[in-house]
Structure 1
Amino acid sequence: MNGSDALLGQFLAHIDVERGLAKSTVKAYAADIRKYLGWLDSQGIKDLADITSHDVEAYVAALDKAGESGRSKARRLASVHEFHKFALMQGVVVDDVSARVKAPKANGHLPDVLSIDEVTQLLDAASMGGSDDPVVLRDKALLEFMYATGCRVSEAVDADLNDVDTDERVVVLTGKGSKQRLVPMGEYSIKALQRYVSLGRPQLEAKAKGGKERRAIFLNKRGRRISRQSVWEVVKMAGERAHINKPLHPHTLRHSFATHLIQGGADVRTVQELLGHASVTTTQIYTHVSPETLIETYLTAHPRAR
């Protein structure tokens, strides 16, 4: 498409430098918009000024036909919206045709959440019976850390030793757009972290070649900062050992953290701050009522339920 590569480069620089979005977010925008531009090109549309709202709607329909989830379609359309707004701001087009295209309605799917007992099973399984193996100590501390703080997997990976104050039981997490927030840590996570840092981490750090990793909390078997993929594997293996038959991934712990806080009486605004959500709307998904709670409340509250 004529001039689209140059405009895309300018847009990515804008959201990276001027807006300060996280590198992973910039990368996601780039992938979404390249997919969009590629589809437009396949339809014979060679100029941004020639795009109509019907074209954008047709693109969303094509995503639906390709089997993409409602969440995925909404994210891709959000990227398209931002790109068109930028094109208008730069004077490349005279109208934002994407503004008239709304995101598909969510299907009401709730996030995967573990019960409190299942979280306990998962964390117990990670400890392997109290093993002093450095990798086991790391895995236990990592999962305790993620459930205690509700952090994103990237925030766990990026966490440094000096981000944690074990005396005050708090950690500074760096989230999207390099925004920092202070999150409390409970006794279980602090103890698991202290045990790992004193007994397990030195052994992992000693395996590093070409200089030790002095900053990162969580290290891999080669003494380097652990990767996102490795965290996924840690969660998966602990889930298998705990015999948890639910979809399990690092974000499951974040979902469970938020849901358990809400169920325990925490208000949505507080949970929003702890999660680092920019909008309370994002957090409100955790205010859902479980079917079990719904039935129990009905049976105990309705005068003719029994």
Structure 2
Amino acid sequence: MFLEAQAAELGAATNTLLAYGRDLKDFDAWLAQRSLEFDAVKRAHVEEYLVYCDAQGLARSTRARRLSAVKQLYRFAFEEGLRSDNPALQISGPGQEKRLPKVLSIEEVDHLLEAARDHGRNQADRARNACLMELLYATGMRVSELVGLPVMAARGDPRLLLILGKGGKERMVPLSPDARDALATWITIRDATEEAKLARKQQASRFLFPSRGKEGHLTRHRFYLLIKEIAMAGGVDPSKVTPHTLRHAFATHLLAGGADLRAIQTMLGHADVATTEIYTHVLEARLSQLVLDHHPLSDTATRKASGKISSDGQ
């Protein structure tokens, strides 16, 4: 009932529902070991479960997410009249670790975009890969939003792309000239393939990036592997490159270029500007490192110049 309500009333994404389901199954298994049912849980039980999660060596972020799932479940039960209280209401979580996201340099992004144009078994693969990477960097889309784009949203050489984000919220994001060119090239090839399918009396896909899988479009997992291949081909460290680091690069490079934080929030689809503000810290960290590395009065720069340390800090 809880998961159905999240999907119907809040428009929760499939990945969010799967995450809630996994976390609550773990909590359910822990309760079963103690012969407890969901409706018999008290605050002390939830606290004991968090101690158990900590003892399992789970990351702070994982423990915080599991507590959030439990809290949401019991809030739902309270609102539906299934319980008269929320046993997890006043429990404080471990909090999230404040880690700055990895950010690619403009030069590294250029290498990725160039490699994408040449990566693939045939012309169609190369055009699709170029379109994927150009759109991702030009818009800062989440990977699920990118691979699930309907083709109708991209027709007519659009200057703005309509994106359906979390919770069913729509937003408009401008496209760069390079992204529009890559999109036009890919749509031409894609449409020819889909027309050939129709000629064989097969159903055409409604997605911009079709696939024969059950979802009907390129999967997040396949794109994750693909972007690693493109990174290797472009001479960029694959450990630094994920679909999400391109989203981070989009935001950080815009901010460095003088873009307004509120505009970046809108384009990223963040509900709260506080989420977007992390990119100001990323920019501050990069600027601080530039000063340390290159300012003539910096101890690091002086030692590098004298040859006492190498360029990699040794």
Q: Could you say which residue in structure 2 is the equivalent of 1:230?
A: 222
Q: Could you say which residue in structure 2 is the equivalent of 1:169?
A: 159
Aligned residues between the structures: 295
- 1:143 and 1:81 map into 2 onto residues whose CA distance is 38
1:159 aligns with 2:152: no
In 2 relative to 1, CA 168–203 (structure 1 residues): closer, same or farther, beyond 3 Å? closer
C-alpha offsets along residues 214-259 of structure 1, whole Å, 9 cap, x if unaligned? 421113479x522222211221110111122233221121122122
* 2:228 counterpart letter in structure 1: K
- 1:186 and 1:144 map into 2 onto residues whose CA distance is 9
Secondary structure of 1:97's counterpart equals coil
1:293 aligns with 2:283: no
Query: C-alpha displacement at 1:273, in angstroms?
Result: 1.1
Give the alignment's Cα RMSD to 1 decimal: 2.9
In 2 relative to 1, CA 304–130 (structure 1 residues): closer, same or farther, beyond 3 Å? closer
Q: Could you say which residue in structure 1 is the equivalent of 2:310?
A: none
- Could you list the runs of 5+ residues in structure 1 that have no partner in the other structure? 1-9
Write out aligned runs for 1:1-306 (5 A). Answer: 10-52=1-43, 54-128=44-118, 133-164=123-154, 167-199=157-189, 202-203=192-193, 206=196, 211-220=202-211, 225-245=217-237, 246-290=239-283, 291-297=285-291
- 1:297 and 1:40 map into 2 onto residues whose CA distance is 54
C-alpha offsets along residues 130-180 of structure 1, whole Å, 9 cap, x if unaligned? 996101110111111111111111111221222125544111111112211
In 2 relative to 1, CA 125–230 (structure 1 residues): closer, same or farther, beyond 3 Å? same
Secondary structure of 1:198's counterpart equals helix
C-alpha offsets along residues 56-84 of structure 1, whole Å, 9 cap, x if unaligned? 22322322333332222222221111111
Structure 1: which 4+ aligned runs deviate by more than 6 Å? 129-132, 298-306
Q: Could you say which residue in structure 2 is the equivalent of 1:4?
A: none
**Would you say the 8 A contact 2:119–2:230 is kept in 1?**
no
**Would you say the 8 A contact 1:154–1:228 is kept in 2?**
yes
Identity of aligned residues (%): 34
Query: C-alpha displacement at 1:199, in angstroms?
Result: 3.4
- Could you list the runs of 5+ residues in structure 2 that have no partner in the other structure? 303-314
- 2:163 and 2:29 map into 1 onto residues whose CA distance is 37
TM-score (norm 1): 0.85
**Would you say the 8 A contact 1:207–1:221 is kept in 2?**
no
**Would you say the 8 A contact 2:194–2:204 is kept in 1?**
no
